[in-house]
């Protein structure tokens, strides 16, 4: 079993090293389906999505699916985010995780983005026609994770992506994979690697790409319908490598130090660090900071929307005395520039 464990770790680590040098800042902005990089979950958002090493439960399906195997039994999470306050964009998510057998866990994660009503404009009516449209962005993931002897967890997730308007749509598939390794006298040290959003290119199609034009010969007064073909676009693949260490205080309290590196195929690489304090697993306070390697660009040409800091808190309350069923509320805030940052809130039930 040890050989299997170390083979999995070594294989993924070697692949990660190769992938980490595959990023190219010159390709920045060339990928689509940016919704796959958005995090609607409040608990991990408070750490700026850098918890690759120690994320667990439902939220792991957005960061490192291997953490799904560390569920105690079942978990339900409902989340809502006001994305970049002032843009009227909202994210809604639901996740469910369930242990399967002794060492496995199965989960499902849904996320949708509401962009509100957008005015329809034309070349003849640039101020608006009076009509509106509302894009629909949606993704659904189904994941499975397995734990080996409480030390190594591996997981895989299959995700469908849908983006559409009234007369255009695109559909694609993606795969996430990850591993977490736990060691130390009290399982203090955790190490994680995840590879996300590896899948098929997407392409928009539909009636919105058709237009009418007069007969070029002008011999007969009729119009022709011309269909345009859109260019394919790649998914925003990313590799995360992270570590964390727990400092145990009086058995029930914990201070966790985290660090993470993200290699993006279509944007600047990122590095981040965070700190989380847990008081008896009932109250948690956390904060993080993420830095893009291209953040110091002149005139902000490559500066990221998120300027760095994030913070959050969680409250977990047992439903009954000495009960294993807990009810929790998570909140997070991520500072952005411009706009007024992203607020996230989530309600969770853990059995």
For the record, the structure tokens of 133 come out as 């449209």
Model confidence at 92: pLDDT above 50: yes
Model confidence at 127: pLDDT above 90: no
pLDDT confidence bin for 301, thresholds 50/70/90: very low
pLDDT confidence bin for 21, thresholds 50/70/90: very low
| Phi, psi for 34 (deg, rounded to 5) | -60, -15
Instruction: Tell me what the mean pLDDT of segment 114-128 comes to.
Output: 87
Quick: pLDDT tens for 186-200. Answer: 889 999 999 999 998
Dihedral angle sign, alpha carbons of residues 36, 44, 68, 272: positive
pLDDT confidence bin for 292, thresholds 50/70/90: confident
Instruction: Give me the pLDDT at residue 200, please.
Output: 87
- Residues 335 and 344: beta-carbon distance below 8 Å: no
Q: Enter the pTM of the model.
A: 0.86
Instruction: Tell me what the mean pLDDT of segment 292-305 comes to.
Output: 61
pLDDT confidence bin for 130, thresholds 50/70/90: confident
Establish how many alpha carbons lie within 13 A of residue 255's alpha carbon, considering only the half-sphere containing its beta carbon.
3
Angle at the Cα of 238 (from 261 to 154), degrees rounded to 5? 85
Q: Which residues contact 140 (CB under 8 A, 6 or more apart)?
A: 108, 109, 110, 111, 159, 160
Average confidence score pLDDT of the chain: 87
- Among 131-135, 227-231, 294-298, 336-340, the minimum mean pLDDT is found in 294-298
Instruction: Give me the pLDDT at residue 117, please.
Output: 87
Quick: pLDDT tens for 226-255. Answer: 777 888 999 999 999 999 999 999 888 999
Model confidence at 185: pLDDT above 70: yes
pLDDT confidence bin for 269, thresholds 50/70/90: confident
For the record, the structure tokens of 121 come out as 């404009």
Cβ neighbour number for residue 32 with a 10 Å cutoff: 22
- Residues 288, 310: Cα–Cα separation, whole Å: 5
- Among 77-81, 307-311, 328-332, the minimum mean pLDDT is found in 307-311
- Residues 46, 311: Cα–Cα separation, whole Å: 5
Instruction: Give me the pLDDT at residue 305, please.
Output: 82
Model confidence at 214: pLDDT above 90: no
Instruction: Tell me what the mean pLDDT of segment 94-108 comes to.
Output: 95
pLDDT confidence bin for 271, thresholds 50/70/90: very high
Instruction: Tell me what the mean pLDDT of segment 321-336 comes to.
Output: 89
Angle at the Cα of 117 (from 114 to 123), degrees rounded to 5? 130
Model confidence at 300: pLDDT above 60: no
- Highest-scoring range by mean pLDDT, 147-156, 214-223, 238-247: 238-247
- Residues 224, 218: Cα–Cα separation, whole Å: 11
Instruction: Tell me what the mean pLDDT of segment 110-128 comes to.
Output: 89
- Among 2-6, 27-31, 91-95, the minimum mean pLDDT is found in 2-6
Task: Provide the CA 30 distance to its chain's centre, in angstroms.
Answer: 19
Model confidence at 22: pLDDT above 50: no
Closest CA to 243 of 203, 282, 284, 191: 191
- Residues 282, 272: Cα–Cα separation, whole Å: 26
- Residues 316 and 328: beta-carbon distance below 8 Å: yes
**Structural domain boundaries in the chain:** 2-23+35-270
């Amino acid at each position: 079993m040890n050989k299997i464990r170390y083979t999995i770790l070594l294989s993924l680590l070697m692949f990660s090293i190769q992938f980490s040098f595959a990023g190219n800042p010159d390709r920045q902005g060339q990928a689509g389906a940016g919704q796959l990089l958005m995090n609607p979950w409040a608990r991990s958002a408070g750490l700026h999505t850098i918890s690759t090493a120690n994320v667990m439960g439902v939220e792991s399906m957005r960061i490192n699916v291997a953490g799904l195997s560390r569920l105690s039994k079942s978990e339900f999470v409902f989340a809502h985010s006001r994305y970049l306050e002032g843009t009227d964009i909202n994210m809604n998510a639901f996740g469910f995780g369930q242990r399967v057998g002794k060492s496995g866990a199965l989960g499902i994660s849904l996320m949708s983005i509401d962009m509100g009503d957008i005015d329809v404009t034309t070349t003849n009516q640039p101020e608006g026609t009076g009509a509106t449209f509302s894009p629909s962005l949606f993704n659904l993931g189904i994941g499975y994770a397995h734990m080996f002897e409480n030390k190594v967890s591996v997981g895989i997730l299959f995700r469908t992506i849908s983006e559409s308007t009234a007369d255009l749509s695109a559909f694609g598939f993606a795969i996430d994979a990850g591993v977490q390794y736990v060691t130390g006298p009290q399982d203090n040290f955790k190490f994680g690697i995840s590879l996300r959003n590896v899948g098929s290119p997407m392409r928009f199609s539909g009636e919105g790409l058709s237009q009418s034009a007069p007969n070029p010969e002008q011999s007969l007064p009729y119009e022709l319908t011309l269909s345009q073909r859109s260019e394919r676009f790649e998914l925003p693949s990313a590799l995360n490598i992270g570590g964390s260490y727990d400092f145990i205080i009086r058995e029930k309290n914990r201070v966790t130090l985290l660090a993470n590196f993200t290699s993006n195929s279509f944007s600047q690489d990122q590095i981040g660090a965070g700190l989380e304090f847990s008081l008896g697993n009932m109250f948690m306070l956390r904060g993080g900071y993420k830095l893009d390697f291209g953040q110091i660009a002149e005139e902000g040409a490559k500066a990221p929307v998120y300027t760095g800091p994030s913070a959050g808190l969680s409250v977990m309350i047992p439903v009954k005395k000495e009960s294993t069923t807990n009810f929790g509320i998570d909140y997070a805030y991520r500072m952005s520039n411009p706009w007024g940052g992203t607020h996230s809130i989530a309600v969770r039930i853990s059995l």
